[in-house]
C-alpha cells in the first residue's frame, strides 16, 4: 500500500483547496468580483461580514482574493501547458533529429534566453493588448525556452540507449520515438520542472499585473490586488500583504507535491530497474 508523507499530504490539501476555490469561485465568494458593498468604507479591518476586510474602494477583499485565485491559477495553468507542450516537443525533436535542425533551434533558444523574460514580456505587451489569451501565450512561449533546454538535455542522454536504437532499427518514426520511447523515461525531471514552471507563471502574471501590463481592471488577480492596495501599507493596512501570503502558500504547497511525485517516480523507476 502506498504511503504518502505528511508533507505531501499538506501540499495536496493546500493545492487542492486553491484549485477548488478557483474552480468554484462564483459559489465561494460572498460578493461579486467588483461589487462595492453599500455602507462599506475603504480598508475596513476583518470582521464577521468581511473576513479579510475591504480594499481601497470598499470591496470585499475575500471575494476579490477568491476571484483573483481563479484568474491567476487559470492563466498560470494554461501558460504552463503551453510552455510544456511547446518546449518538450521541440526539445525532444531536436535531440532525436539532431544536425542542423538541433543547432538552429538551440541557437534561437539561447538568443531568447539571453534577454530577460520580464523585459521581453513588457516590450511585447506594450504593443499587444493585455488580454488573457495574449498573456497566456506570452508567458507560455517565454517559459518554453527553459522547458526546451531541460527536455533536450534529458532526451540527448536517452537517445543513445539501446531501446531507442532498437526502435530506429525497427523503422519507427520520430513521433513514435518521442512519445513511446523518450517521454516515458523523461517524466521524472519534467514532473519536477512542472511545479517550478507553474509557480514561475504565477509570479510572472502577478508581476505583470503589479506593473500594470497584466490582468486589467475590473478583473482581479493577486498581483493587481497588491497594486491596488499598496498605499495602505503606509497606514498599517495589510490588504496588499494578503495576496503575497497566498502566493507564498501556493508556491510551497505545489513544490511539496512536485517533490513527492518526483521521489515516487524515481523510486518506482529504480524498483523496476532492480
Q: 3-state DSSP call for residue 168?
A: helix
* pLDDT higher than threshold 80 for residue 271: no
Residue 248 burial class via C-beta count within 10 angstroms: exposed 0-12, middle 13-18, buried 19 and up: exposed
Any idea which residue has 465561494 for its cell? Answer: 28
Report how far residue 36's alpha carbon sits from residue 229's, in angstroms, rounded to the nearest whole number: 15
Domain ranges of the chain: 6-25+54-273
* pLDDT higher than threshold 70 for residue 60: yes
C-alpha cell at 75: 492563466
* pLDDT higher than threshold 60 for residue 18: yes
Q: Are 91 and 266 in contact (CB under 8 A)?
A: no
pTM score over 0.85: yes
Cα radius of gyration rounded to whole Å, the chain: 22
- Other CB atoms within 10 A of residue 183 CB: 18
pLDDT of res. 265: 67
* pLDDT higher than threshold 80 for residue 269: no
Residue 35 burial class via C-beta count within 10 angstroms: exposed 0-12, middle 13-18, buried 19 and up: middle
> Does 219 or 79 have the greater pLDDT score?
79
Q: What pLDDT, in 10s, does the model give residues 200-217?
A: 999 999 999 999 888 888
Interval 223-247 mean pLDDT: 88
DSSP result, 205-221: HHHHHHTTSSSPTTS--
Q: Would you tell me which CATH number, out of the four given (1.10.510.10, 1.10.3720.10, 3.90.1580.10, 3.40.50.150), belongs to the domain 6-25+54-273?
A: 1.10.3720.10
Sorted by sequence, the CB contacts under 8 Å of residue 203 that are 6+ apart come out as 247, 251
Report how far residue 32's alpha carbon sits from residue 234's, in angstroms, rounded to the nearest whole number: 28
Return the H-helix or E-strand segment holding 260. helix 241-273
* pLDDT higher than threshold 90 for residue 17: yes
> Among the listed ranges 111-115, 232-236, 264-268, which one has the minimum average pLDDT value?
264-268
| Per-residue confidence band for 182, with pLDDT thresholds at 50, 70 and 90 | confident
* pLDDT higher than threshold 50 for residue 273: no
Report how far residue 273's alpha carbon sits from residue 152's, in angstroms, rounded to the nearest whole number: 23
Report how far residue 255's alpha carbon sits from residue 80's, in angstroms, rounded to the nearest whole number: 15
| Per-residue confidence band for 264, with pLDDT thresholds at 50, 70 and 90 | confident
Identify which of 223, 183, 229, 182 has the alpha carbon closest to the alpha carbon of residue 204. 223
Q: Give the C-alpha distances (Å, rounded to integers) separating 1 from 4, 216.
A: 10, 48
Sorted by sequence, the CB contacts under 8 Å of residue 25 that are 6+ apart come out as 66, 67, 69, 70
pLDDT of res. 274: 40
Interval 232-243 mean pLDDT: 85
| Per-residue confidence band for 2, with pLDDT thresholds at 50, 70 and 90 | low
| Per-residue confidence band for 247, with pLDDT thresholds at 50, 70 and 90 | very high
Q: pLDDT over 90 for what percent of the chain?
A: 48
Interval 42-55 mean pLDDT: 88
Calculated CA dihedral for residues 186, 20, 221, 53, nearest 10 degrees: -140
Interval 178-196 mean pLDDT: 82
First-to-last C-alpha distance (Å) of the chain: 19
* pLDDT higher than threshold 70 for residue 50: yes
Amino acid at each position: 500500500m502506498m504511503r504518502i508523507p505528511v508533507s505531501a499530504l499538506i501540499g495536496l490539501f493546500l493545492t487542492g483547496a486553491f484549485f477548488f476555490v478557483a474552480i468554484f469561485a462564483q459559489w465561494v465568494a460572498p460578493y461579486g468580483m467588483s461589487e462595492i458593498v453599500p455602507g462599506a468604507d475603504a480598508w475596513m479591518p476583518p470582521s464577521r461580514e468581511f473576513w479579510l476586510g475591504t480594499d481601497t474602494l470598499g470591496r470585499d477583499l475575500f471575494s476579490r482574493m477568491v476571484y483573483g485565485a481563479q484568474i491567476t491559477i487559470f492563466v498560470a495553468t494554461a501558460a504552463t501547458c503551453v510552455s510544456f507542450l511547446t518546449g518538450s516537443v521541440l526539445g525532444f525533436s531536436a535531440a532525436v533529429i539532431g544536425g542542423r535542425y538541433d543547432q538552429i533551434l538551440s541557437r534561437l533558444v539561447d538568443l531568447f534566453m539571453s534577454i530577460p523574460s520580464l523585459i521581453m514580456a513588457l516590450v511585447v505587451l506594450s504593443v499587444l493588448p493585455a488580454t488573457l489569451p495574449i498573456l497566456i501565450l506570452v508567458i507560455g512561449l517565454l517559459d518554453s525556452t527553459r522547458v526546451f533546454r531541460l527536455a533536450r538535455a534529458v532526451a540527448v542522454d536517452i537517445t543513445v540507449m539501446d531501446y531507442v536504437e532498437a526502435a530506429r532499427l525497427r523503422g519507427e518514426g520520430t513521433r513514435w520515438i518521442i512519445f513511446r520511447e523518450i517521454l516515458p523515461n523523461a517524466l521524472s525531471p519534467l514532473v519536477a520542472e512542472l511545479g517550478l514552471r507553474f509557480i514561475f507563471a504565477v509570479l510572472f502574471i502577478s508581476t505583470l499585473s503589479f506593473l500594470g501590463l497584466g490582468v486589467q481592471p475590473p478583473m482581479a488577480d493577486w498581483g493587481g490586488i497588491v497594486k491596488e492596495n499598496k498605499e495602505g501599507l503606509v497606514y498599517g493596512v495589510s490588504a496588499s500583504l494578503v495576496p503575497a501570503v497566498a502566493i507564498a502558500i501556493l508556491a510551497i504547497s505545489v513544490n511539496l507535491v512536485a517533490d513527492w511525485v518526483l521521489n515516487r517516480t524515481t523510486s518506482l523507476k529504480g524498483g523496476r530497474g532492480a
